[in-house]
Amino acid sequence: MTFSLAIVGRPNVGKSTLFNRLVGKRLALVDDQPGVTRDLREGAARLGDLRFTVIDTAGLEEATDESLQGRMRKLTERAVDMADICLFMIDARAGVTPMDEVLAEILRKRAKHVILAANKGEGSAADSGVLEAYGLGLGEPIRLSAEHGEGLNDLYAQLMPLSDAYEERAEEEAPEVDVDVGEEDDDSPRPITKSKPLQIAVVGRPNAGKSTLINQIMGEERLLTGPEAGITRDAISVQIDWEDVPMRIFDTAGMRKKAKIQEKLEKLSVSDGLRAVKFAEVVVVLLDAAIPFEQQDLRIADLAEREGRAVVIAVNKWDIEDDKQDKLKMLREEFTRLLPQLRGAPLVTVSAKTGKGLDRLHAAIMKAHRVWNRRVSTAALNRWLSGMLEQHPPPAPQGKRIKLRYMTQAKTRPPGFVVMCSHPDKMPESYSRYLVNSLREDFDMPGTPIRLYMRGQS
Ligand code: GDP
Ligand code: GDP
């Protein structure tokens, strides 16, 4: 990636259409209903031989609302500050509107490089709008048709020289430095670098505080949060350095009540959650302290376990808990009872609002990631196995004792072990579970899914 390009402009001018064209696949939340809106989205873009990051800003259908307009301004400012280049898009058929003027003003003052695009430029209906665009004081507009793919050559011609400049800059930058997160001998987590950040998903029920948490981590209000009905987000990701560790955080759709489209959004958000879990190395299940371990929370935590992800449970809104000690005790009991499959997973309390506990959350994430990457040497495993066999020999179904011969770690992320044995099909579930729990304890692997495979020897 050489540079980043943010597409900004008022709602409905065609930003997402261009974004999709540049990214080449339908990443967008496909929905025509007003009120279903997105937040900043990033994608890997191609245009000819150019490769860059494209950022799409929110399209807010209800932008006539004063406060939403204010929010949009703010979001545009963020995008401008974040991106190397801004593509400011207007609708040539509609001509220049007052809202366009407002955004153009921000860009004139703030942006490093602005490319002006008059979209929906196919056909003569756009002629006067293209002319009006000159009046914005942002240079010559590119006449685009995002929908029909016209004008992309002109876009390329404007981006090319800028791209060269950024390429030179990239060469001057220092090489990437790996962040060493290993502590134990047997741990060899993959190096975490800027181009391979630690991948995290924050999942949880609507209103658990996911956006607030991510905003707090980022130290700025990049995500749109607010009480307006109908504001929602697609699953999106942001990349940041959190305490010097490069991380990419997936935020799953935060839903706001909107009776009409509620059901549809819920479906969307479930699949978003799934997508985020699949993407993540560490899944942070964010609970609301006032209503912890609801059905939805349990489902997503179980899903994360089944997908083999490292899991951290974070209990949010801890600032409004009175009796913290009792509450914590209760939470731990509930956790053990309701999520036995995640035994030992870290449970931390946080306040996304005040930022309290975020250092603990960071430490828990790093630890979970380390354990998830854990590799135990074959020698250590077999020493351990013979000890286990002495202490608690395997059962003898129908009088024939199952012999466990040898064991090795077959995989990491999450850790998976193979035990060579006689009659693998007769191994009772309870003995496997016993082995898994002991492995977990003896090799200090809390909270990560552990896979154990029994294999017969031929
Ligand atoms: P955004 O909300 O600003 O991201 O705008 P969208 O990408 O959702 O586009 C808004 C509407 O304009 C959609 O119905 C698109 O199909 C339409 N649209 C986008 N680009 C063009 C174009 O080049 N020509 C025409 N005629 N319509 C377009
Ligand atoms: P999301 O739907 O999970 O993204 O939740 P939001 O981040 O939008 O938060 C939902 C509501 O909970 C908002 O009104 C937040 O201000 C509030 N909230 C979030 N975190 C905290 C917290 O740590 N303490 C308190 N008291 N309120 C919080």
455, 421 in Cβ contact below 8 A? yes
The alpha carbon of 157 and the centre of ligand 1 are apart by a number of angstroms equal to 23
Using alpha carbons, select from 373, 211, 293, 254 the residue that is nearest to residue 285: 293
The alpha carbon of 359 and the centre of ligand 1 are apart by a number of angstroms equal to 43
Residue nearest to atom 6 of ligand 2 (CA): 209
Q: Is the CB of 206 under 6 A from ligand 2?
A: yes
Residue 91 belongs to what H/E stretch? strand 85-91
Residue numbering of the annotated binding site for GTP: 9-16, 56-60, 119-122, 204-211, 251-255, 316-319
Q: Is the CB of 210 under 6 A from ligand 2?
A: yes
The alpha carbon of 67 and the centre of ligand 1 are apart by a number of angstroms equal to 24
The per-residue pLDDT for 169 is 54
Ligand 2 atom at shortest distance from the alpha carbon of 316: 23
Mutating to test ligand 1, I would choose from 38, 61, 87, 147 the residue with most ligand atoms within 8 A of its C-beta, which is: 147
**In this structure, which ligand is nearest to the CA of 60?**
1
ipTM, two decimals, is: 0.54
Ligand 1 atom at shortest distance from the alpha carbon of 15: 4
Residue nearest to atom 25 of ligand 2 (CA): 317
Q: Is the CB of 69 under 6 A from ligand 2?
A: no
Single-letter code of the amino acid located at 241: D
Mutating to test ligand 2, I would choose from 217, 288, 353, 361 the residue with most ligand atoms within 8 A of its C-beta, which is: 353
The alpha carbon of 312 and the centre of ligand 2 are apart by a number of angstroms equal to 19
- DSSP code of residue 248: E
Within 6 A (CB) of ligand 1 lie 11-17, 59, 119-120, 122, 145-148
Residue nearest to atom 10 of ligand 1 (CA): 12
Residue 313 belongs to what H/E stretch? strand 310-316
- 458 residues of the chain, pLDDT tens digit each: 478 899 999 888 999 899 888 987 544 443 333 333 345 677 788 888 788 888 877 544 444 455 657 777 777 787 787 788 999 999 999 999 988 998 999 898 888 889 999 999 998 999 989 988 988 888 889 999 999 989 998 898 888 877 776 665 554 443 333 333 333 444 455 678 877 889 999 988 888 898 889 888 877 444 444 443 333 344 466 778 888 888 888 866 443 333 334 444 444 455 566 777 877 899 999 999 999 998 888 888 888 888 889 999 999 999 999 999 999 999 999 998 899 888 888 999 999 999 999 999 999 999 999 999 888 888 899 999 999 888 888 878 777 788 888 888 888 888 989 888 888 888 888 888 889 989 988 998 887 889 888 887 65
Q: Is the CB of 211 under 6 A from ligand 2?
A: yes
| Category of 22 on φ-ψ map: left (φ > 0), alpha (ψ -120 to 50) or beta | alpha
The alpha carbon of 297 and the centre of ligand 2 are apart by a number of angstroms equal to 16
The per-residue pLDDT for 261 is 44
Degrees, nearest 5: CA angle 74-169-191: 85
Single-letter code of the amino acid located at 189: P
Residue ranges of alpha helices (H) inside 262-377 are 262-279, 295-306, 324-338, 358-372
Local structure of 444: helix, strand or coil: coil
Instruction: Give the pairing of strands 404-411 and 416-421.
Output: antiparallel
- DSSP code of residue 126: G
Q: What radius of gyration do the chain's Cα atoms show? A: 26
21, 32 in Cβ contact below 8 A? no
E strand intervals along 137-295: 142-143, 198-203, 236-242, 245-251, 282-288
44: which 2 tokens? 């890997």
Q: How many CB atoms lie within 10 A of CB 24?
A: 11
Local structure of 381: helix, strand or coil: helix
224: which 2 tokens? 């749109």
Local structure of 168: helix, strand or coil: helix
Q: Is the CB of 254 under 6 A from ligand 2?
A: yes
Q: How far apart are CA 51 and CA 404, in angstroms?
A: 53
139: which 2 tokens? 């240079």
Q: How far apart are CA 24 and CA 20, in angstroms?
A: 6
Residue 48 Cα distances to 3, 22, 152, 157, 198, angstroms: 15, 10, 9, 10, 30
Q: How many CB atoms lie within 10 A of CB 75?
A: 20
The alpha carbon of 241 and the centre of ligand 1 are apart by a number of angstroms equal to 35
Long-range contacts made by residues 189-195, C-beta under 8 angstroms, separation at least 24? 189/369, 189/370, 189/372, 189/373, 190/373, 192/245, 192/246, 193/246, 194/246
41, 59 in Cβ contact below 8 A? no
Neighbour-count burial for 29-55, b at 16+ CB within 10 Å, e otherwise: bebeeebbbbbbbbbebebeebebbbb
Local structure of 268: helix, strand or coil: helix
**In this structure, which ligand is nearest to the CA of 20?**
1
The per-residue pLDDT for 35 is 36
207, 257 in Cβ contact below 8 A? no
Using alpha carbons, select from 329, 352, 313 the residue that is nearest to residue 204: 313
**In this structure, which ligand is nearest to the CA of 221?**
2
**In this structure, which ligand is nearest to the CA of 287?**
2
368, 395 in Cβ contact below 8 A? no
Using alpha carbons, select from 180, 244, 249 the residue that is nearest to residue 214: 249
Q: How far apart are CA 196 and CA 194, in angstroms?
A: 5
Residue nearest to atom 14 of ligand 2 (CA): 207
Q: How far apart are CA 257 and CA 269, in angstroms?
A: 13
Q: Is the CB of 225 under 6 A from ligand 2?
A: yes
Residue nearest to atom 2 of ligand 1 (CA): 12
